[in-house]
Amino acid sequence: SSPASHPTDADPQPELARADTATRITAEALEALRFKDPDILRGTRISHVLRRHARIFSDRPCTAELFQESQPVDHLDAFISHNWSTRREDKLLALQLQFNLPPAIAVTLVVICGAWALQVTRVLPHIQEVFHTYDSAMGCWCQILGVPTFLLMLCYGHTFTAMLPWAEPFVFLDKYCVHQTDAMLKRQGIEHLPAMLSYSWRMVVLYS
**21 or 85, greater pLDDT:** 85
Residue 82 has pLDDT above 90, yes or no: yes
Residue 171, CA distances (Å) to 44, 112, 136 in order: 5, 31, 51
Tens-digit pLDDT profile for residues 165-207? 788 999 999 999 999 999 999 999 998 998 999 999 999 999 8
pLDDT value, residue 10: 56
pLDDT value, residue 66: 93
Cα 169 from Cα 45, distance rounded (Å): 6
Cα 195 from Cα 76, distance rounded (Å): 11
Nearest-5° Cα angle at 149, 144 to 154 = 140
pLDDT value, residue 33: 72
Residue 132 has pLDDT above 60, yes or no: no
Confidence of residue 19 (pLDDT cuts 50, 70, 90): low
pLDDT value, residue 135: 59
Tens-digit pLDDT profile for residues 38-50? 889 999 999 999 9
Nearest to 139 by CA among 112, 174, 108, 171: 112
Q: What is the mean pLDDT of residues 93-121?
A: 94
pLDDT value, residue 14: 67
pLDDT value, residue 64: 87
Residue 5 has pLDDT above 70, yes or no: no
Q: What is the mean pLDDT of residues 12-26?
A: 62
pTM: 0.78
**133 or 88, greater pLDDT:** 88
